[in-house]
Amino acid sequence: MADISLVIINDEGAEYLPRLLDSIREQAAIPDIEYILIDNYSRDNSVSRASELGVREIFQFQQKVENRGVLYNKGYELASSPYILFIHSDAYFFCDFFQKLKEKLNSHAPDGLVMFTQYYPDFNLIGPERIGIDVDSGSLYYWQIFRKYPEHVEWLLEFTEACFLANREVFDKIAFDETFHNSFYEHVLADRVRDMGRNVESYEECKFGHYFIELHEKLKTYNTDIALIAEKISGLLIMKSSVWLKERDNLMREVSRQAEIMEQMRLKNRAKRLIKKFIMYDLFLGK
């Protein structure tokens, strides 16, 4: 049995797969890995590209899956290792990721979920996506890289599904909620894991990079998802208040503005992206 099942969540990510898999082969210490690709009906050559790059277990949905939790749950079904490492295809591991991970696993076996330190392409550090409440005003905040937040915020939940490790016993008992589209399903999972009496922790020493190309998809389904999470997580019903609705509108305007900027940059730099950014990553990592 492999030490870790690596489940790659892919949606039109053919151009990113080589970077991800190369980042594993370049590791100082490589564990025994079971490679699994879960493909969301990509119309590029993701499946053939993954096969060429050595991924043996490939599952492609035969129509587009709108609820991303379905993709993760299918990955769990196919995984056989005691630990399941999920990652987006548009992400990659820093060169000492698996060495640091091995050290952590040897010293402390996680019983729930583990997050890692995430970097954006310009190398600004970004944390997990957080849901919190301003203790002064009662406003609810959903924090990501493009959002400033006040000082007096009590964080209720934090998680990122871009790259995380799960003890498979978690998925033996619960699964990702399949009613959400692109947001909050990871927070619901983290909340349920805590309710089980298991830990949701962070290994800050283990780092990965993330292109985050799916932001525009999250925007399309945000309003639906925000209504769902208000129903599903106890203690967060404040989301239905008029204060939250005002905060949500402000957030959506800022998200839309940032998404437009990112889309313009993506289109402008598309032809040069693979060469230029890969060189930048290599220089940053000391290669």
- Summarised one tens digit per residue, pLDDT across range 60-119 is 999 999 888 999 999 999 999 999 999 999 899 999 999 999 999 999 889 999 999 888
CA 244/CA 250 separation, integer angstroms: 10
Q: Please tell me the number of Cα atoms within 13 Å of 234 on its side-chain side.
A: 4
For residue 1, the SS3 value is coil
The second-level CATH assignment, the architecture, of 4-284 is: Alpha-Beta Complex (3.90)
* Residue-wise DSSP of 235-252: T-GGGGSHHHHHHHHHHH
Q: Which residues contact 217 (CB under 8 A, 6 or more apart)?
A: 182
- Contact 91/78 with Cβ under 8 angstroms? no
Q: Which of 189, 200, 191, 217 is nearest to 12 (CA)?
A: 217
C-alpha to C-alpha distances, 214 to 13, 156, 205, 218, 220, nearest whole angstrom: 10, 25, 25, 7, 10
Domain range summary for the chain, segments of one domain joined by +: 4-284
Q: Is pTM, for the whole model, over 0.75?
A: no
Residue 237 is predicted with a pLDDT of: 43
Mean pLDDT by 10 residues, the chain (287 residues): 89 90 89 94 93 94 92 96 95 93 92 89 64 65 57 72 93 88 81 89 90 56 59 49 51 58 57 44 42
> Looking up tokens 């040069």, which residue turns up?
272
pLDDT digits (tens, 9 = 90+) for 196-210: 899 999 998 999 988
Strands 200-210 and 113-119: parallel
